[in-house]
Amino acid sequence: MIRAFIGVQIAPEVRARISAAITQLAAETSGLRWVREENFHFTLKFLGLIEEPQIETISNALAQAIQPFRRFTINAKGLGVFPDSKKARVLWVGLEGDDMPALAKSVESVLEPFGFPSENRMFRPHLTVGRWRHSMGLQQELAGKLKRWKNFEFGASAVDQVVFFQSVLKPDGAVYRPVKTVPLAGN
């Protein structure tokens, strides 16, 4: 069994800009567990524990589902929190891209027959960059800092493949390993 998810990798230069921003915030903020730069990614679907032989079967189904999609660009922009400023649990960088909702929906649809139900939450593309251990309201000072980053442009990443990741949990944080890549059409 492996712990797995389907995602999209972020360009190294975009990851570096995000990392520089959170380094600044980390120096001024406490209580957050920060995501390491090499782990920044966009999750299309978290699968949880799966049997290793399922990787090939799911990858083949993904290849069919994403066949209509051509390479596109996503833009990383702004910082925010989930679920809201009164009960912040996740610090995120927003993602924008016209084809992202359709790609995510296609991945969701193709995985349902494998026993992975569709999300009930609204689709809000983002990169998780930090997590609070306990839900908390944002202190006024941090809320002000986040407003400064609200529209900051971190850069663009080309989406030319979908990646099947293995997530290995370790005491110092998760390590994400690409297991299989599924190219978009024309790539």
Domain range summary for the chain, segments of one domain joined by + = 2-183
- Topology adopted by domain 2-183: Cyclic Phosphodiesterase; Chain: A, (3.90.1140)
Residue bearing the bigger pLDDT, 132 or 19: 19
Q: Please give the model's pTM, rounded to 2 decimal places.
A: 0.90
Mean pLDDT of 163-181: 92
Tell me the pLDDT tens digit for each residue of 57-68: 999 999 999 989
Residue 88 is predicted with a pLDDT of 82
pLDDT at position 138, please?
64
**Which of 29-38, 117-126, 129-138 bottoms out in mean pLDDT, i.e. has the lowest?**
129-138
Instruction: Tell me which of 82 and 85 has the higher pLDDT.
Output: 82
Average pLDDT over residues 123-133: 90
Return mean pLDDT, the chain: 90
Res 187 pLDDT > 60: no
Residue pLDDT, tens place only, 146-155: 888 889 999 9
pLDDT of 140 strictly over 70: no
* High-pLDDT (> 90) share of the chain, %: 68
C-alpha span between 149 and 151 (Å, rounded): 6
